[in-house]
Amino acid sequence: MKDNMLQIIIIALAVAADQLTKFLLVPMLQSLPGQTLTVIPGVFSLTYTGNTGASFGILAGAQPFFIAVTIIILIAGTVVMIRTRKKQSSFLKICLSLIIGGAVGNFADRVTLGYVRDIFDFHAVYFPWIFNVADSCLVVGAILLGIYVIFIYKPKDKKAQMKEGKNPSEE
Helix orientation angle between 90-113 and 63-83, rounded to the nearest 10 degrees: 150
Strand order in the sheet with 130-131: 36-40, 44-51, 116-122, 130-131
Single out the catalytic residue among 18, 118, 121, 157: 118
DSSP 99-113: HHHHHHHHHHHHHHH
Phi, psi of 10 (to 5 degrees): -60, -45
Q: How far apart are CA 134 and CA 138, in angstroms?
A: 6
* Helix, strand, coil distribution of the chain in percent, nearest 5: 65, 15, 25
Nearest CA-CA partner of 25 in 98, 120, 112, 104: 120
Please confirm, yes or no, whether 135 is among the known catalytic residues.
yes
Q: 3-state DSSP call for residue 160?
A: helix
**Residues noted as catalytic:** 118, 135
